Structure 1
């Protein structure tokens, strides 16, 4: 059986590690690597999209990183209890025209007993920024 450590229930140390592991995986911009943190039948809401299952996660991330160049993400633990973690995050990227953006948001995560994320609900807003105003490198 697949396991993704640390496992719930989370404490401060393990919740912080789970968040850092997620940040590291997303910053790899490797859809396959990222998808391994999720259950086969994971459920996502990402902005206005509903994504179901690892295969859809991989396809979503491939499309995302085709459009979001020089992507850099920072996640911060907001709260945790039992098998759930809430994070706030920000990331920066530029599009094909060279316009830079900073995205802000919150995610609510729910994990199964094997430490795989079964639910991810994300609310995200983008704002255009000047390249000189970037803060994530």
Structure 2
């Protein structure tokens, strides 16, 4: 099944693809998120390397079981015909109530159907206090009037 927008990407379609990914990740629904990836998609995220949708669902299930009140913003950094580089920031807290702001970069590669065949992510975690949170919208997609990363100076 095709997942528009499809390559080759333009500035507008790359931004659409990033926002669709952001909205899906903010749903915290591993099955929904996994459908944007090819059946054999290759991933590197933090210290984990794995392939395929079942492994994606497993990793995301574990992730969101420990990252509570997760809110994410993604922004396109660069793009080519079938690749998009994004930077992202998300906030969440752990089971102890410690809040985290996590900064990262992802490199994405897509097939002709718009499915992501490769995702490589590097992530840095910074402790913050509750008062320092920037992402305070209700759980779910980021509201259209909430600023992006560049607008926030992040």
> Do Structure 1 and Structure 2 share a fold, with TM-score over 0.5?
yes
Q: Following the alignment from structure 2 to structure 1, what is the Cα–Cα distance between the partners of residues 50 and 28?
A: 18
**TM-score (norm. length: structure 2):** 0.88
Deviations for 1:23-80, whole angstroms, at most 9, x for unmatched residues? 0000000000000000000000001100210000001000000000000000001000
Displacement after TM superposition at 1:122 (Å): 0.1
RMSD: 0.4
- 1:106 matched to 2:116: no
Where does 1:16-95 land on structure 2 (aligned, <5 Å)?
16-95=15-94
Deviations for 1:68-98, whole angstroms, at most 9, x for unmatched residues? 0000000001000000000000000000000
Structure 1 regions of 5+ residues with no counterpart? none
Structure 2 regions of 5+ residues with no counterpart? 137-154
Q: Which has the higher strand share?
A: 1
**TM-score (norm. length: structure 1):** 0.98
Q: What is the number of residues matched between the two proteins?
A: 136
Where does 1:95-134 land on structure 2 (aligned, <5 Å)?
95-134=94-133
Runs (4 or more) in structure 1 with deviation over 2 Å come to none
